[in-house]
Amino acid sequence: MNNQLYVMKQKGIAAIEFTIVLPLFLVLILFTAELGRGIYQYSQLTRMIRDAGRHLSQTIITTSNGVPSVLIDENCDYCISDTTNLLVYGANTGATPLLSGIDITDVSISELPIDSGILVISVDYDWTPIFFDRLSGLGLGDGVDLSFSLNSTYAVRAI
């Protein structure tokens, strides 16, 4: 009799426990998905910049003194714009970027140190999460912005 009474009191407890734990599991799943997406996008960004660096090192027209003194498209047969297009779009011409939100203005190409023949490609990509832009402050002030900048730099020697 006592065993049957105990079972009667326990009915519905599992549903209440599930209701309490479900939001925590959902937050954990969403956090894991965002973290995985961020790691994947950073991996894509480094792959894109590495491919563009290889392209630039082989296509830049070097003079007897090395890289042209003024690193602009006209001095290297438009190698700078070709490299930035390859980095952003995956081809010399394109309209759809390989990463959402990346733009040609996020890419910079320079020679550091000057007259060294080492070309540095830098990308500053603003990463934004899919699910939430801000984490709520729960009424204690402004929320926390969850977007941040992914920076990647790659250096190659002009061949």
Average pLDDT value for residue range 90-119: 85
Mean pLDDT of the chain: 83
Specify the higher pLDDT residue, 124 or 127.
124
| pLDDT for the residue 71 | 74
What pLDDT digit, counting tens, does each position of 107-120 carry?
998 888 877 778 89
pLDDT-above-90 percentage for the chain: 31
Q: Structurally, how many domains does the chain consist of?
A: 1
Q: Which pLDDT band, with edges at 50, 70 and 90, does 134 fall under?
A: confident
pLDDT of 29 over the 70 cut: yes
| pLDDT for the residue 11 | 74
Average pLDDT value for residue range 141-153: 81
| pLDDT for the residue 8 | 67
Domain that holds residue 6: 2-157
CA 39 to each of CA 3, 86, 106, 129, 134: distance values in angstroms, whole numbers, following the listed order: 52, 22, 19, 12, 19
Q: How many residues does the structure list for the chain?
A: 159
| pLDDT for the residue 66 | 63
Distance between CA atoms of 148 and 14, rounded to whole angstroms? 40
pLDDT of 1 over the 70 cut: no
| pLDDT for the residue 75 | 74
What pLDDT digit, counting tens, does each position of 57-85 carry?
888 766 666 666 667 777 777 888 888 99
Q: Is the peptide bond before 23 cis (omega within 30 degrees of 0)?
A: no
pTM listed for this prediction: 0.77
